[in-house]
Amino acid sequence: MQSDATAPAPRTHWIADRLDVRLAQRRVDRAQVTGLVEALGALHATRASAPAPVSLEARGGAARAAVAERAPELAEAAAEREAAIRNAAPALAERAAPSAARRLHGRLCCEDIHVDPLGRTQLGAPADDAAGDPCEDVAALAVTLAARGRADLARQLTGAYAEATGDFALYRVLDAHLALAGLVAAQRVLAAAPGSEAGRAVAERLLAASAELAAPAAPAFVIAVAGVMASGKSTLAARLSTAHAAPVASADAARPAGPSTLDPGAQDEAYAKMFRRAAEVLASRRPVVLDACFATRAQREALRAFAEQHRVPLLVVECRADAALTRRRLQERARQQGRPESDWLALRERLLATWEPMKELPREQHLPVDTARDLELCLPRIERALGRCAGRLHRVRRPSPRGASAIA
C-alpha cells in the first residue's frame, strides 16, 4: 500500500474516491482501512512543534454546551460524552506528559480524505496549528465510520493503527477521544444546519456512535494464539481479532528481524514488550489477542501470571499443522520476502529444538486446533472454549470468614 499524508487529492479522485462517497456507497473494506492506517502513521510520524492545544476537558465542555444549546433533546447524551472525558482525566494527563504523544495531526473529516480501490490514501493538508495526541485523528475517523453504520471498520481501524505504529497506549485515552470526536462532530453538524431535523438526526447518530465504540460492558479477556513457526498463528490471530474487535499484540512485531530473533535475550524482550502492549489494551477494559509461539513452559507460566494479574480469562489456542504444510508455508514466506528458504527452515529447527509440549496447561485454558482445516470450522470451537473459561473465572465463591472472596 502507498499513502501520501500531505499531497492534495487529484481531481480524478475528487468524487469516486472521496471517503464519504465510498462510505455512502459501501465501498470501504479492509484494503481501504489499511491505507488509512498507513497515511495516518505517516502524518503522525512528524513531531509537533505547535503550541499545546486546549485541554480535552475544556474542548469537551464547550462542545457539550453548544450541542445542548442548539438541540436540547440531545443534552443528556452530550453530557454523558463530556463525563467520559472527565473520567479519563488522569490517563489524559499521563498520556500528554511524554513529548512523543504530541504529534502533527489533521483534524480530519471524510470530505478531505481520498482512498482508491487499492487502498492508496491521500489526506488533506493539516492545519498549521494542528498538534496534539494522534489518538484524536484515530477517534475522529472511527466515530465517522461508526455513525455511517460501519462500527466494525471503526474498531478495525483503531486496532490496525495500534499494531502498525506500536502505539497501544492510545487505548488508555481512547474513550475520551471518542467522546470528544462525537461532541465536536455533532456541534459542527448542528452549526451548519441550524434548526434542521436532518441535522439533529445526524448529530444524534454521531453521539450514539462514540458511545457504541466505548469500552464494552462485558469483561475483557486474553486469547493467546500459540504454536510452532508457520503453524498458522498469525492468520488465526487476525481472524480472532476481527471477530472480537480486539487488537493483536505480537511477539514478532516486538522483536528485531534477522537470525538473532530466537536468541534468549531477544525473546525475553519481545515477550516483555508484547505483554506491556497487551496491558495497555486491558487497562481500557477491552480484549486482546496475543500472537507468539509460547514454546516453553516458562513463557506459558508468564502468560498465565499475566492473565491472573489483570484478572481476565485466558484461552491458549495451540495451532498445529503437519511438517510438510509448515515447510510449504515457510517456502512461500521466504519467496515473498526475497529471503533464502534455508533461513526460515533453520529458525524453525532452532525453535523445535526448544519446544516443550503444552502438557501443563489446564484443560479449560488450552485448545489445540488443526490449522490445515478451514479456519471457519475452528472458530465455533474457540468461541465455546472461550465461553467456558470466561465463565469459570467469573464464578465467585462465597466470602471466606475473613471477608475475602476467591475466584472459583
CATH number for 326:
3.40.50.300
Do 163 and 283 lie in one domain? The reply is no
Q: Which of 55-59, 253-257, 303-307 shows the lowest per-residue confidence on average (mean pLDDT)?
A: 253-257
User: Which alpha helices (DSSP H) does 120-249 contain, by range?
Assistant: 135-147, 151-165, 174-192, 197-212, 233-244
Do 142 and 234 lie in one domain? The reply is no
- Residue 4 pairs with which residues in a beta bridge? 122
- Between residues 110 and 9, the one the model is more confident about: 110
Asked whether residue 399 is assigned to any structural domain, the reply reads: no
User: Whole domain around residue 373: which residue ranges?
Assistant: 222-393
Q: How many domains does the chain divide into?
A: 2
pLDDT at 222: 97
Selection from 235, 216, 215, 214 nearest residue 225 by Cα: 235
Please identify, among 212, 235, 262, the residue that sits at the C-terminal boundary of a domain: 212
Distances (CA, A) of 408 to 153, 218, 307, 399: 37, 19, 15, 11
Do 124 and 101 lie in one domain? The reply is yes
Q: How many CB atoms lie within 10 A of CB 177?
A: 28
Residue 1 pLDDT > 60? no
Q: Give the integer Cα–Cα distance in Å for 168 and 152.
A: 19
Asked whether residue 59 is assigned to any structural domain, the reply reads: yes
| 338 confidence band (pLDDT: 50, 70, 90) | confident
- DSSP letter for 106, please: -
Asked whether residue 403 is assigned to any structural domain, the reply reads: no
Q: Give the integer Cα–Cα distance in Å for 38 and 173.
A: 21
Average pLDDT score over residue span 161-175: 95
| Strand-pair category, 113-115 with 121-123 | antiparallel
Q: Give the integer Cα–Cα distance in Å for 80 and 50.
A: 31
Average pLDDT score over residue span 102-107: 66
Asked whether residue 217 is assigned to any structural domain, the reply reads: no
Residue 120 pLDDT > 90? no
Do 27 and 176 lie in one domain? The reply is yes
Do 31 and 150 lie in one domain? The reply is yes
Q: Give the integer Cα–Cα distance in Å for 26 and 20.
A: 10
Rounded to the nearest 10°, the torsion over CA 372, 376, 377, 379 is: 110
pTM (whole model) above 0.85: yes
Do 234 and 129 lie in one domain? The reply is no
Residue 175 pLDDT > 90? yes
Q: How many CB atoms lie within 10 A of CB 7?
A: 12
Q: Which cell goes with 182? A: 462525537
Do 272 and 197 lie in one domain? The reply is no
Please identify, among 212, 231, 261, the residue that sits at the C-terminal boundary of a domain: 212
Q: Which cell goes with 226? A: 500459540
What residue type is assigned to position 239 of the chain?
R
User: Residues 153-159: contacts with CB within 8 Å, 24+ apart?
Assistant: 153/28, 153/29, 153/33, 154/209, 154/213, 155/213, 155/245, 156/30, 156/33, 156/242, 156/245, 157/33, 157/36, 157/37, 158/247, 159/241, 159/245, 159/246, 159/247, 159/248
Q: Which cell goes with 360? A: 501443563
| 179 confidence band (pLDDT: 50, 70, 90) | very high
| 52 confidence band (pLDDT: 50, 70, 90) | low
Asked whether residue 156 is assigned to any structural domain, the reply reads: yes
Residue 152 pLDDT > 60? yes
DSSP 257-297: -SGGGGSHHHHHHHHHHHHHHHHHHHHTT--EEEE----SH
Residue 167 pLDDT > 60? yes
Q: Give the integer Cα–Cα distance in Å for 101 and 44.
A: 10
Asked whether residue 39 is assigned to any structural domain, the reply reads: yes
Average pLDDT score over residue span 384-390: 87
Q: Give the integer Cα–Cα distance in Å for 34 and 340.
A: 28
Q: Give the integer Cα–Cα distance in Å for 313 and 376.
A: 23
Asked whether residue 74 is assigned to any structural domain, the reply reads: yes
Q: Produce one character per residue of 373-387: b if its CB has 16 or more CB atoms within 10 Å, e if not.
A: eebeebeeebeebbe
Residue 88 pLDDT > 70? yes
Do 29 and 161 lie in one domain? The reply is yes
The three-class DSSP label of residue 171 is helix
Average pLDDT score over residue span 215-220: 86
